[in-house]
Amino acid sequence: MKTLIAVVLVVFVTCFFFTSTLCAQQTEHKTHPKVEHYATELQKSLTMIDNTVVKQISAHQSKLETDADIYKLLNAILTEHPNVEACFVDNKGILKLVAPEMYKSAEGADINDQAHVILMLKEPKPILSSGFMAVEGYLGVVLARPLYNSNKQFLGSINLVLRPDILLQDVIKDNPVGDEVWTMQPDGMIICDDADEVGKNLFTDPMYKDFESLRQLGKKISANPSGSGEYSFYASGTQKPVKKSATWATMKFHDRIWRVVLTHRI
C-alpha cells in the first residue's frame, strides 16, 4: 500500500511540474492577436507594392531600349505609389535613373558598395534591404527587383526607397491611445519608433545602456518569432522611465525579418 501511495505521489508531482512548466512557457510566448494582425498587414502592404513593380516590369519589358523607356516604367510605378522614390540601378551598380524629378541630382552615383546592390549584382533576385539612414534624414529600406529586357539580358534592378514609418502608420491607424508599436530587425536595429530612436541599435547604442530589462527583452525578441515580456524605458516623448508590457510577432518579406512589437504602459 505504501508503495502504491509513493508511486501515485511521484506521478502527481511529475504531472504538476510538467503542467506548470508548460503553462509558464505558454504564458512567456503568448502573443496578442492585434500584433499578429499588424505584422500580417505590414507584409500585405509590402506585397502590394512589390506586385506593382512586377506588374509594371512585365508591362514595359518588351520596350526597354532607352533611358526614356525606363523612365516610363519608373513613373508608372509612382502613379500607383507616389510616396516612394523609384530608381534604376544598372548592372555595374550605378544609380542611373531616379524619379520623381526632385531626386535627379543623385543620378550617376556609384552605389556598388551598398549591401543590397552587391547582393543583386551577385545573384539577381527580389530583395528587401536592411534599414539605412537616407540623406534626407529618414530611415529607409530598399525594395528591389531584377530587370531584364525582352532578350532576357540582365540590365540591373528597379529599386524603390520606402519609408517603413509611413507603412506602419497606415497599418496601426486604429491603435488605441496609450499603446505603442515599434519594429526591430533581429540584429537590434530599430526600424520604426519615436524619431530619436529610429536607426539606433538596441544592443549597442548608449541610449539603452541604463535599461538592462529592455536589452534583455530585446535579446528574446531577436531570438524568438513571437512572445511577450516586460521592461522599463522612457514613456513616449518624455525622459520619465516607466514599466511596460510587450508582445511581438514577425513580419518576413524576401528573407528580411522585422519583429513587430506592441507595448502598453503598466
pLDDT, one tens digit per residue, over 135-152 is 777 899 999 999 999 999
Q: Domain tally for the chain?
A: 1
Predicted TM-score of the model (pTM) = 0.86
Share of the chain above pLDDT 90, in %: 77
Confidence of residue 177 (pLDDT cuts 50, 70, 90): confident
Is residue 247 a part of any domain in this protein?
A: no
CATH number at residue 69: 3.30.450.20
The answer to the question of residue 65 being in a domain is: yes
**Which residue range(s) make up the domain with 75?**
42-165
- Residue 176 pLDDT level (bands cut at 50, 70, 90): confident
Mean of the per-residue pLDDT values of the chain: 89
- Scan for cell 533576385, then name that residue: 125
Closest CA to 235 of 210, 263, 213, 198: 263
Give a yes or no: residue 173 inside a domain: no
Q: Answer yes or no: is 22 within a domain.
A: no
Does residue 209 belong to any structural domain of this protein? no
Report d(CA 176, CA 160) in Å as an integer.
Answer: 31
